[in-house]
Structure 1
Amino acid sequence: MSKKLKISLIICGVSLLLFISWFFFLKDDYKQIEQEIYSLNQWRTHIAHIEMIDDDYALAIYVWGNDQHAGIIEFERTLLGWKMTSGVSELIYGGLQFVELENYSVIHYSDRPNIEEVHVKLRNGDTYPALLKEGNGTGEEIYAINPDRWYYYSDTEDLAEATVTTYDKDGQVVEEIQIPDEPSGGVVTQYKNDNDY
């Protein structure tokens, strides 16, 4: 075997080992997404929930500024980790947020303590359960009005003018919320690459 071939094989072997090490020891997905959110440097940021939609997409819901602002960011997995693709942050004082991102439409709201079920009825009459997320109990939510939230997202359905009905443990209606006919008009940011924050 020639010297050049041996050197080439060694370089290929080392490169393969480095790639495998990078792949297997890559940081936790949630930690990467958290770091991206905290890199926005928004005052008193509290991440309410990170939803891993599939292997390639994730949504993060967070509040900041003593729960007066809320943000939703869509993430896409790249070869180098998770990248923000679009997001909305706006002043909502803990209220309802309805946004349309690059791939998903999302509604979420700070939950009442006695809510056991949430149903979203779309304009076309289809009804779906919303997801309930309890606060994480870490003490971080000391600045949040209420860390519990419900949320619903879709990549295909029109969420405008949907009706959200919340129910208590006895199945009694607690609240009915009408979703606006237009998504929130907050600050919309399209993240084009890792340096465009």
Structure 2
Amino acid sequence: MGVSQVMGTRGPLSLSELEESLDRHRVPLAEFRSGRAIAWNIAWELAGSTPLPRPVRYRHPLGAVTWVDLDEGTSAQILMQIDLSVLSSTQRPSVTLGPEAAASRDFSAGARTTGFVLPGDLDDPLVPVAKDQSWFGPHLLKAGQFTIGAKGEEIRVDSFPDALEALRKMKVPRWRRPNPQGNWGIVSGMAWKRLSSCFSRGAV
């Protein structure tokens, strides 16, 4: 739903301190006074709390209570939304181009805070979109690699920029992605659209 940075902790807090900070923790005072929540006396100090434009699904391991290690694909979806959220007020329309036209544009490239170097428009690259509206993006990282290419000619690429560049050079871009049942199959790109547009439509 959103992200925050943990800056530190404070506590254990006394009952009077917990009562004084009700506007921050929002735990009913009756829970502390009764003793039911008295163990909740350590405060996490957060900074930079930001809601995501679109919630990201993740797999919650059995037994995990406080911390969960997110897989690379889930982390990539979150990171890309954080970077793209600044585009929401000036979002550019989608464009539909053939791969040759997309490759011939004068694209810039540079480092992003996500660690990706995106071929294409620095902040909002063109990505291939399939007939079912699924699209190629950083969220398709599986076991540290992207799988692209036609069946029998597939290659695995470590980085999103390299995979995107290779897709642009294909006559028909093809890549593997999970269907609603979680099975990974090959789809073919039918159009090229802005990455921010794919996120805003909720396509997966």
- The two structures have a TM-score, normalised by structure 1, of 0.27
Task: State the structure with bigger RCO (CA 8 A, min sep 6), 1 or 2.
Answer: 2
Higher share in helix: 2
Higher share in strand: 1
- The two structures have a TM-score, normalised by structure 2, of 0.26
